[in-house]
Chain A
């Protein structure tokens, strides 16, 4: 199989604090991981593409200093929402591709962030 996990699944924080979300590929190595944001009853919007050992590539309109992405190993990428505000409340989903093998992007279960 190909399992992608995210931690935490739920997080509630106060406005102004920073929150880190982890994305792990459990049984495969992934050179590329993607971070998406999804508002209720809306589609997935790609935020950034994360490649192991290099800087992330952010989509237009996504603040690099606001959403820090680190892809330190072939199995772990992290998204840090810095100085979170209520408008950052959303469902954050990561996905990962195998280095080799079937051409499938595997999605994590998502992390629900609520900023009070």
Chain B
């Protein structure tokens, strides 16, 4: 049973555009939702994370939007750059990052110059 569903599987965006990646979860006990960025051959790096008590969190060009009633959250990358080309994973856990993360399947983002 896949507990975190991520879409799209791949995304192509022009430089300067907005990249939007969506995730939906099933387990209402999840209370920590991070997004990770992974470059080929490297480990994931935390981009931004949100708790369900807020509907939006912004850090630089990255924004998480969270809809608790719909059990959905999304990552928006503003002014997308070629250097943002990577695989992005959403994840969820119960109790924060000290507990095991359940990952989405990932989105391969390509930003064309």
A residues adjacent to B (C-beta < 8 A): 4, 6, 32, 34, 41-46, 49, 93, 95, 97, 103-110, 112
With known contacts A43-B105, A44-B89, A93–B100 Cβ distance under 8 A: no
B61 at the A interface (CB under 8 A):
no
Flag if A107 contacts B45 (CB, 8 Å).
Answer: yes
Flag if B32 contacts A103 (CB, 8 Å).
Answer: yes
The proximity string for B residues 66-98 relative to A, scoring 1 for CB distances below 8 Å and 0 otherwise, is: 000000000000000000000001000000111
With known contacts A43-B89, A108-B43, A103–B98 Cβ distance under 8 A: yes
Chain A residues with CB under 8 Å of B46's CB are 104-106
With known contacts A44-B89, A103-B96, A109–B101 Cβ distance under 8 A: no
Instruction: Please indicate which of the listed interface residues A45, A95, A103, A108 has the most CB atoms of chain B within 10 Å of its own CB.
Output: A103
Flag if A44 contacts B42 (CB, 8 Å).
Answer: no
Flag if B100 contacts A34 (CB, 8 Å).
Answer: yes
- Which B residues between 24 and 68 are near A, CB-CB below 8 angstroms? 32, 34, 36, 41-46, 49
Measured CB to CB, the closest approach of chain A to B38, in angstroms, equals 9
Candidates B41, B42, B105; contact of A42 at CB < 8 Å: B105
